Amino acid sequence: MLNLIALAICLSITACAQSQIQNNAETALSDSAAFNRPDSFWRRVLSPKQYYVLREKGTEKPFSGKWLLNNDSGIYTCAGCGNALFDASRKFDAHCGWPSFDEEIAGGKITTRTDNSHGMSRTEILCARCGGHLGHLFDDGPSSTGKRYCVNSLSLEFTEQTASAPQTDTLTLGGGCFWCIEAVFEKLKGVVKVESGYSGGLVANPSYEAVCSGNTGHAEVVQIIFDPNQTSTTEILKVFFTVHDPCTLNRQGADVGSQYRSVVFYRNAAQKATSLSIIDALNASGAYSRPVVTAVEAFSTFYVADISHQDYYSRNPNGAYCRMVIQPKMEKFEKVFKDRVKP
């Protein structure tokens, strides 16, 4: 895969730079959960309709929202930042044209303030994490709480839950050769499964050779399935930005080509917002001497690589590539995230 002589030279040049930025990067990433972001950020993250409701305090038309008639079990989250707001068990039909709940999830997920617009005095409800407008709170609920949280569907996303299966989330990342990234995430607590493969291209079921040609548009990626009760999108991205160089366009070390690009493929608005927020924090902190070039793109399809590329590091620990390229990344991960390494 690599010219090992060129790789050795590249590693010697970049090793000092990586150690110098490590502390700054960690400081920037530690603040990434705060979603007090400028208007330009929300215009990038949200669709025009979501922006109108969440940031401009608009209201969707009654009986038009996608979650109005949803009766599945699960959790409703803020469409802007992923903050968990309502359990579906607290939803009821208020016959008002908007999803209604009689209680929020405990823990200060929602804040309120007086809204005197349109010649009325109402209680506005907002996401406590990002300040996004959700709707209004009324004292005419049918249950013992006496509350009715009247919420725009455009302010919400929904994650279905079933009692028969453990709850997991999935994130797909590209950061150079997938052997390197896979090896690191297999050791992170909370990660259930990691697979190497390809995403972001135009060719169905590409071969490894075709992807390596750079002509399919795919990136080498890892698909990470994780338990959100043990780790999070934020922590996974912290690890991701620590163990690869996000400032080199279409290359990692001596691996050169669009197939080695740095990219996050997000599956929902919360993953997108978290990714962009971390990138903004890294750039603002000056953690790197150059801008982060990591792309943030909507996930489409993941094609799993053949078996010879799965668990490559664990099966070939003494190989030249593993010793020269993967082992330093593993050592860095185990040092920075020592309390998060699987036993």
Domain ranges of the chain: 4-30+166-340, 47-160
**Residue range 265-274: mean pLDDT, rounded:** 91
Question: Which stretch of 26-30, 92-96, 257-261, 278-282 has the lowest confidence by average pLDDT?
Answer: 26-30
DSSP string, 280-292: HHHHHHT-SSS--
pLDDT band at 16 (very low <50, low <70, confident <90, very high): very low
Q: 176-197: per-residue pLDDT in tens?
A: 999 999 999 999 999 999 999 9
CA 292 to CA 282: how far, in whole Å? 8
DSSP 254-299: TEESGGG-EEEEESSHHHHHHHHHHHHHHHHHT-SSS----EEEE-
214 alpha-carbon distance from chain centroid:
26
pLDDT of residue 212: 94
> Could you tell me which of 165, 145, 167 has the C-alpha nearest to residue 75?
167
Active-site residue list: 150, 177
pLDDT for the residue 36 = 77
Give residue-wise pLDDT tens across range 60-114: 999 999 999 999 999 999 999 888 999 999 999 999 999 999 999 987 899 999 9
For residue 230, the one-letter residue type is Q
The number of beta carbons lying within 10 Å of the beta carbon of residue 84 is: 17
Residue 15 — pLDDT band, cuts 50, 70, 90?
very low
**H or E stretch at 125:** strand 122-127
Q: Answer whether 142's CB lies under 8 Å from 100's CB.
A: no
Closest CA to 87 of 55, 110, 112, 60: 110
Residue closest to 210 by CA, chosen among 259, 249, 243: 259
Q: Is the dihedral of CA 284, 130, 300, 162 positive or negative?
A: positive
Q: What is the mean pLDDT of the chain?
A: 88
Q: What angle do CA 247, 190, 106 make, to 5 degrees?
A: 100
Burial of 48 (0-12, 13-18, 19+ CB in 10 A): exposed
* Secondary structure element (H or E) that encloses residue 76, with its range: strand 74-78
CATH architecture of 4-30+166-340: 2-Layer Sandwich (3.30)
pLDDT tier, 286 (very low <50, low <70, confident <90, very high otherwise): confident
What is the chain's Cα-based Rg?
22
Selected from 2.170.150.20, 2.40.240.20, 3.40.50.11780, 3.40.50.1370, the CATH number assigned to the domain covering 47-160 reads 2.170.150.20
Q: Hunting for tokens 């009821």 — which residue is that?
A: 92
Q: Exposure string (b/e) for 319-329, b if CB count within 10 Å is 16 or more?
A: eebbeebbbeb
Confidence check: pLDDT of 230 > 70: yes
Per-residue confidence at 270, pLDDT binned at 50, 70, 90? confident
| pTM for the full predicted model | 0.74
Q: What is the pLDDT of residues 109-128, one digit of tens each?
A: 999 999 999 999 999 999 99
